[in-house]
Structure 1
Amino acid sequence: MNIHIIQHVSFEKPGRIMDWIQENNHTVEIIKVFNGEPFPKAEEVSFLIILGGPMSANDTEQWIEDEQHLIKEVVDSEKAMLGICLGAQQLAKAYGSAIISTPKEVGWHSVTSLTQIFHQSKEVTVLHWHGEGFTKPCHATPLYSTEKWENQGFRLFNAIGLQFHFEATKETVKEIVEADSLFLSQSVFSVTRGGTIDFPVPDENKDILFSILNTLEREVK
């Protein structure tokens, strides 16, 4: 299977998603928006993954709207999609949700799982990096929440949106912190630059990410 990944900025990379792609002998095409690369046509896509970025789904640049249209075409065609951070907000907005300012959840902190579909743990420690959130799309199934903002993840048809980063590795975390350390200093969590970079990435996060990707992959086979 060929996986299309949309990367918005140079410092938010696919991380462990690439491990899953390689282990499953898939091919990948990474569309780098920051280099002006064009989006694929919906009919070319089997599995779409959209990463994060510091921009807002409410921004007025044409590519933001174009990406939302692509998402809706892909999901309406019963193909698979995973949206992470901005990607999740784009998915939510494509299906009518509001994108609003929320407490700045930045750094390592827990999320509460609302189901046991992908793992048994009730609480999981993940990398957060967001100051906006989405209202739950109509007909979506909630997956995760935090005490600061209840809508942290959802499933809608063959698409999953996650506000946080299961795909993070030690290397990708370092790149994000170095590129966006001012945002880290505004976090509602008690975090430091060094503590965020040096935090041991939970092995469980890879297993959960792979479970999510495997579930979505089965939907398009």
Structure 2
Amino acid sequence: MRAWCIMHVPFEGPGYIEEWFNMQGINLKFMKMYEDVSFPEPEEVDFLLIMGGPMNIYEYEKYPWLKPEKEFIASCIRENKKVLGICLGAQLIADALGQRIFPNSEKEIGWFPVAGNRELIPGTCIPFHWHGETFDLPDNAEHIASSLICRNQAFIFQDNVLALQFHLEITPSLIEGLLKHVESDLTSGNWVQGKNEIREGLINTESNRSILHRMLQKFSGLSN
């Protein structure tokens, strides 16, 4: 499998997703948008992973690579590649499928339960969140998860596109990177945890890692 990962900032990497690819013997290749990057042809991609970032998906002047990235994502979806988006990546997928991205009613930052309604996200888990925006559900997409403050937490489209607003992939080092680089987001709010509470929530990483690995196994179509 030829797997590629789009990163938008150095401190939001694939974490436990990369670990899963390594366990399958797959070398994840990177497109780092904060460096000079060119996109492969969709024919060279079997699996596209799109990570998060602090930017808005409409900040074209500040981030001129956003438009070509969106075109690349849309082309991979059209070519029926496996596409997985995390946080900003999920919003970019929703945009590619014709939906708008807009501010959520409140910021959601910290560890909060998500209720799933499909085998990919069974029951309730407590993933990590760091977002202030949300999206409308694309036409013909299946809604598969929600939280109390954000309804559209995840969807699947035609069985080859999966969008997750939350972070199952988060590791302790990724948490520290977020706290270092975007600590200013931690303004007061009903759904914004403080640094200590966020660090205490790391007890959830092992169960989330297991859920993530099972999800990737099923979504990718790879067998053990």
Q: State the TM-score, normalized to the length of structure 2.
A: 0.91
Report how many residues are paired: 217
SS at match of 1:141: strand
Structural mapping, 1:64-83, within 5 Å: 64-83=66-85
Check conservation: 1:170, 1:198, Cα contact below 8 A: no
Q: Please list the CA deviations of residues 169-194 of structure 1 after superposition, one character each: whole Å capped at 9, or x if unmatched.
A: 11111111111111123443252112
Q: How does 1:76-95 map to 2 (within 5 A)?
A: 76-95=78-97
5+ residue gaps, structure 1, are: none
1:217 paired with 2:220, answer: yes
Q: Where in structure 2 are there 5+ consecutive unaligned residues?
A: none
Which residue does 2:166 correspond to in 1?
Answer: 164
Equivalent position amino acid for 2:193 in 1: V
Query: Which residue of structure 2 aligns with residue 152 of structure 1?
Result: 153
Percent identity over paired residues: 31
Query: In 2 relative to 1, CA 146–72 (structure 1 residues): closer, same or farther, beyond 3 Å?
Result: same
**Is this contact kept in 2: 1:81–1:216, CA < 8 A?**
no
* Residue equivalent to 2:99: 97
Segment drifting more, 31-40 vs 13-22: 31-40
C-alpha distance in 2 between matches for 1:135 and 1:153: 11
Question: Aligned partners of 2:16, 2:136: CA distance in 1, in Å?
Answer: 27
**Coordinate RMSD, CA, aligned:** 1.5
Match of 2:181 in 1: 179
Paired AA for residue 127 in structure 1: F
The one-letter code matched in structure 2 to 1:79 is K
Q: Which amino acid aligns with 1:64?
A: L
Which one-letter code corresponds to 1:81 in the other structure? V
- Give the 3-state SS of the residue equivalent to 2:127 in structure 1: strand
Task: Could you list the structure 1 runs, at least 4 aligned residues long, displaced by more than 4 angstroms after superposition.
Answer: none
Query: Which has the larger displacement, 189-198 or 76-85?
Result: 189-198
CA distance in 1, matches of 2:183, 2:189: 10
Question: What is the rounded CA distance, in whole Å, between the counterparts of 2:120 and 2:46 in structure 1?
Answer: 22
